[in-house]
Amino acid sequence: MNFIGRFVRLATTALALGIPAGGVSADEYPSKAIRFVAPYPPGSVTDLLARTIGQKLTESWKQPVLVENRGGGGSVIGTDIVAKAPPDGYTILMVAPDLAINQTLRSGLPYDAEKSFAPVARLVFSPTVLCVHPSLPVNNLRELIAHAKSRPGRLSYASGGNATVGHLGMELLKHMAGIDMVHVPYKGTAAVVTAVLTGDVQVAFAQMSTARPQHAAGKLRVLAVASGTRSQAMPELPTVAEAGLPGFKAEVWFGVVAPAGTPGGIISRLSSEMGRIMRMPDVQKQLLPQGIEPMTTTAEEFAAFLREEIVTWGELVKKTGARVD
């Protein structure tokens, strides 16, 4: 066999065994620090999850997992960093529905939501809740809709940025309810609750983990949950569909992807370890009271789910006429 033939045979064998171009097999992975990019500012659910997982990976693999917050551009900046990183398993990305939403909402993306990444696992479901400033004279969704209809364009709502679920979910609510509210985007989900608390805006879809303590303290009023089913953390809270808009659903999930071309053996190891972490009692004890519900999938299941999400959010963008400006 000539040199070229031997090279092709060795390369084929390496791929089958999950050996990346650098020559490190999946069994030897990881042999150095892992960069874990969270494309949102500190204080978000994304940041919390990345740090929780990073700490557990560091403990089990004896290699540092360094969480890097690279917010901006509606998660595009941090996402693009990982899309262009070497596909060797040493750069991974925490993702949310923004990854699927941006595919339709933003033109000229520097990456493709499906083709540029290798899905690792979907990790958790994190309900968002519809909340209002206490000064607003409404106690449920129907009253909010009636109040907004009597004041078209005078109420404003916050989101964690253009193309987030908080933005698209509220545009869907506006569309289904026939109301008009002004969108005020902020940099990251952590700022959304603050905007409602201060009265800078009157309405928002906010992460349950940040809105719930303020609701309990009477500093804001939570009206409904945006998911298709009630939350384990606040089972008394109706869904938006139950509260007056049948068929409404704007769910938030979080998962992990790696650059496309990352060897399958490394993807499998990452996926398996993250699933194990999500099943740890201490991790669930930390997440569940905040309304963050573990629901880990395999890499293959996450890939199929992501394809569905790109279609679902794409149809919603077209239906609502949402824009990023």
Structure tokens at 34: 């892992």
Q: Residue 196's domain is classified under what CATH number?
A: 3.40.190.10
CA–CA gap between residue 264 and residue 272 (Å, rounded): 12
Helices (H), 223-278: 240-243, 264-278
pLDDT at 233: 84
Q: Are 70 and 37 in contact (CB under 8 A)?
A: yes
Structure tokens at 58: 């560091």
- Count of other CB atoms within 10 angstroms of residue 7: 11
* 156 and 13 in a common domain: no
Residue 49 placed within a domain = yes
pLDDT at 7: 43
CA–CA gap between residue 37 and residue 50 (Å, rounded): 8
Burial class (CB in 10 A: 0-12, 13-18, 19+), 2: exposed
pLDDT at 162: 80
Q: Are 244 and 179 in contact (CB under 8 A)?
A: no
* 174 and 132 in a common domain: yes
* 202 and 151 in a common domain: yes
- DSSP code of 202? S
pLDDT at 319: 80
Structure tokens at 306: 């992501």
Structure tokens at 318: 């077209």
Q: Residue 302's domain is classified under what CATH number?
A: 3.40.190.150
* 265 and 215 in a common domain: no
Query: Based on the structure, what is the number of domains in the chain?
Result: 2
- DSSP code of 289? G
* 44 and 74 in a common domain: yes
Residues 127-144 pLDDT 10s:
899 999 999 999 999 999
- Count of other CB atoms within 10 angstroms of residue 150: 9
Residues 46-97 pLDDT 10s:
888 999 999 999 999 999 999 999 988 878 999 999 999 999 999 999 999 9
Q: Are 227 and 124 in contact (CB under 8 A)?
A: no
| Tens-level pLDDT at each residue, the chain (325 residues) | 454 444 445 444 444 444 444 455 677 899 999 999 999 888 778 888 999 999 999 999 999 999 999 988 878 999 999 999 999 999 999 999 989 999 988 888 999 999 999 999 999 988 899 999 999 999 999 999 999 999 999 999 999 888 788 999 999 999 999 999 999 998 877 789 999 999 999 999 998 888 889 999 999 999 999 998 898 888 999 999 999 999 998 888 999 999 999 999 999 999 999 999 999 999 999 888 877 888 889 999 999 999 999 998 888 888 877 777 5
Domain containing residue 121:
3-126+252-320
End residue of a domain, out of 186, 213, 243: 243
Structure tokens at 300: 């293959």
Cis-peptide, bond into residue 30, ω within 30° of zero: yes
Beta strand ranges found along 167-314 (DSSP E): 182-185, 203-207, 221-225, 253-259, 293-294
Single pTM value for the model: 0.81
Task: Give phi and psi for 99, each to the nearest 5.
Answer: -60, -40
* 305 and 266 in a common domain: yes
* 93 and 175 in a common domain: no
